[in-house]
Structures are given as structure tokens and as C-alpha cells.
Amino acid sequence: MRVVTWNLWWRFGPWAERQEAIRTVLRGLRPDVVGLQEVWAADGENLAEWLAGELGLHWTWAASPASDRWQRRIGRPGVEVGNAVLSRWPVVDRAVLRLPAPEEVDDGRLALHARLAAPGHEVPFFTVHLTSGRDASAVRGEQVTALARFVAAHRAGTGFPPIVTGDFNAPPDSAEIRRFTGRGAAPAVPGQVFTDAWDHADPAAPSATWGAGSPYVESGPGIRIDYVHVGAPAAPAPAPAGTGAVRHVRRAGHGPVDGVWPSDHAAVVADVTAR
């Protein structure tokens, strides 16, 4: 099963040209399921719906309840922002969580759950976009706690491990990532731990997913803040041994397509065993 996560940079920059580049990259990847962040909808159009139609996938999306804060950044009212899931298999259930944040920084960040009717086992799939402030680690800590509980509430009834994708706006060694995964810290939900798919990447491979040469980012060499996290299979309906094992992981969309960079983020692509 090929899993992709990608922050699409909303309607910033040359968004119409970027839309075509995004489609080209995703079409070349031939994903089974995609978690998307900063997806726009405006004037009866929705980027996730358009991409799903172009790629022959099912889709669902959730709009931010505070899109007005985003709209002020581009001076364009009426453009919504949200998270989306594209899937080769039908979406048989969905749920949305507004992530907690203090009023002064609350711009409606979300977690979106989609239960996917894959052959053999339904897949509990999630995509999330955490608060972005550099000094907001404590806020993201509260958000990953809420996210972990959200995952725990929607992972039951299938032996397939939960897959949690998204832009966490935090590097791998941060307190919030360690809290979510349970690596080097007590997990946010006791007993619920996650593997960072990038653990299976070529150690020599560039890992930055934000910046790293993008003309849309002015400073720094880039950092890794986008993730595919895979949980452990849940009892009492365990999947066959090896289900959810990460076989390969890499970046995509980290360069120009016909002269246009698709986003300020690179995508993360993980091949996961599905039995």
C-alpha cells in the first residue's frame, strides 16, 4: 500500500500553476491513499475533489472552522482551507477533530479520520495539521495528546494498524513528536505507540520536507516536519504478521515540475505492507 502525505500550501504563490504540478507528481506516484493539508476550496471548486477526479480516487475533506484567519493572509475572502484524504478504496466512515489551541493562535487546525474499505482489512487513516509557531511546542503538545486520543477512539474494529499522516510542524527530536510516538517519552495514550516511517529511509537520503531549496521559503536549509506514522495492530482482530510494516520511504515533489515547484513542502511517500 503506497501512502503519501503532503502539505499543498493552500492558495499561496502561483497556485494555479502549482495545482498542475501537484497533479503531475501525484499521478506519477500512483498512491493508494493520500493525506493532504492546506487544501483549498473556493467558488464551488475543491482542490481535493479535482485531484481525486484526475487520479480516479475517492475523497473526503474537512474545512477549517477559522478560514477567515487564513483569508486575511492573502486578502481573499471566501477561500476555505482544510485537510483531505484521497483513497483508492471507498471511505466508509469519517470524523473530524478541531485541535485545541489558545484563542490568540487558534486558526482552526484539524485532524481528519477516514476509515477505508481496503481488501482484507479496513484501514483507520488520519491526516493532521498542527499549529506552526516556532514557540508553540507546548500548544502542539496539547494537540498531539488530543490527536492520540482521537486515533484511539477510531482505530477499533480492524486488525490494520492506524496510519497517521500530516504536517506536525515539529522536528523528530521535539517533545511533541516524542510524546505522540512514545519514543523517549510516555505516549499520549498509554500503550499506543507509533513508528516513524522515515526510520526506514536511506540514511544518506535528504530528509527535509519544508524548505530545502523551495523558492517559497526564504530561510534555512530545511527541516523534516511531515510524517507518516504507523501504529501497532490492535487486538482482538489482529492482522497477519507483518501488516503495516514499512518497506520503503522517500520524498517526492521536492523539485520543480515544468519550472514550477508544487509546494513549499515535499511529500513523504511510504510503502507499507498490506496483507
At 234, is the pLDDT very low, low, confident or very high (cuts 50, 70, 90)?
Answer: low
DSSP 132-152: --TT-HHHHHHHHHHHHHHHH
Answer for the pair 100, 48: CB distance below 8 angstroms, yes or no.
no
Place of cell 492546506: 38
* Strands 80-87 vs 246-252: parallel, antiparallel or unpaired: unpaired
Answer for the pair 85, 73: CB distance below 8 angstroms, yes or no.
no
At 237, is the pLDDT very low, low, confident or very high (cuts 50, 70, 90)?
Answer: low
At 238, is the pLDDT very low, low, confident or very high (cuts 50, 70, 90)?
Answer: low
Domain ranges of the chain: 2-272
CATH architecture, domain 2-272: 4-Layer Sandwich (3.60)
pLDDT the model gives residue 239: 67
Note the pLDDT tens digit of each residue in 152-211.
Answer: 999 999 989 999 999 999 999 999 999 999 998 999 999 999 999 999 999 999 999 998
pTM: 0.95
Averaged pLDDT for residues 233-239 = 64
Cis peptide, bond prior to residue 100, ω within 30 of zero: no
Note the pLDDT tens digit of each residue in 56-93.
Answer: 999 999 999 988 888 888 887 889 999 999 999 999 99
**Considering the chain, what percentage of its residues have pLDDT values greater than 90?**
82
CA dist 231 and 239 (Å) reads: 12
Say which residues have a Cβ less than 8 Å from residue 235's Cβ, sequence separation at least 6.
none
CA dist 183 and 177 (Å) reads: 8
